[in-house]
Amino acid sequence: MSIHELSERKDLFEEAVNAFWKQWGSEESYNFYRDCMLRSCETDEEVPRFYISVENGAIIGTFAILRNDINSRQDLTPWLACLYVDPAFRGKELGSQFLQYAIDEAARKGYKKLYLATDLVGYYEKYQWLHSSEAYGIGGSSIKVYEKSTID
């Protein structure tokens, strides 16, 4: 298993768009995901960045580091988003590897913290993420905001 920033594996671009979109998107949002991911491959900015995990040529997991995860907390950046592990590969601690990779990437990019928004209970706490606040989505519902220092 290897982790790649999508701009390094443009040969898997369309497959990556489909992987992110199928897990996180809706029927109407394919162009949104494709455009976000295309622009991330074209920019010199540190974020947004999309990551794929590959084993035997197939994408088995995803995550992204974004400026904002489409919520009201515009004051916080960057955000971990779209963390996903293919069900056939779960139970092998890939999610924790993705989390650590994202923390290391955020640190390398000069960020002191990384944030995420989730409705999961108990998962991120296992990896010492701190539930620090709430955010609101465009639909008006609230979601838990977690943070983790990138500095040991």
Residue 24 token pair: 């996180």
Mean pLDDT over 2-16 rounds to: 97
Question: In the chain, which ranges are E strands?
Answer: 2-5, 49-55, 58-66, 79-85, 113-118, 130-136, 142-149
| pLDDT at residue 138, rounded to an integer | 86
pLDDT tens string 86-145: 999 999 999 999 999 999 999 999 999 999 999 999 999 999 999 999 999 889 999 999
Q: What is the value of pTM for the model shown?
A: 0.95
- Selection from 85, 82, 146, 149 nearest residue 117 by Cα: 146
- Domain residue ranges of the chain, discontinuous segments joined by +: 2-149
Could you give the CA distance from residue 123 to residue 139 in angstroms, rounded to a whole number?
24
Residue located via tokens 């999610």:
95
Cβ proximity of 10 and 4 under 8 Å: no
Q: What is the pLDDT of residues 24-71, one digit of tens each?
A: 999 999 999 999 999 999 999 999 999 999 999 999 999 999 999 989
The closest alpha carbon to 80, from 97, 90, 68, belongs to 68
**pLDDT reported for residue 16:** 98
Give the tokens for residue 83: 């963390």
> Which CATH code of 3.40.630.30, 1.20.1740.10, 3.40.50.300, 3.90.1170.50 fits the domain covering 2-149?
3.40.630.30
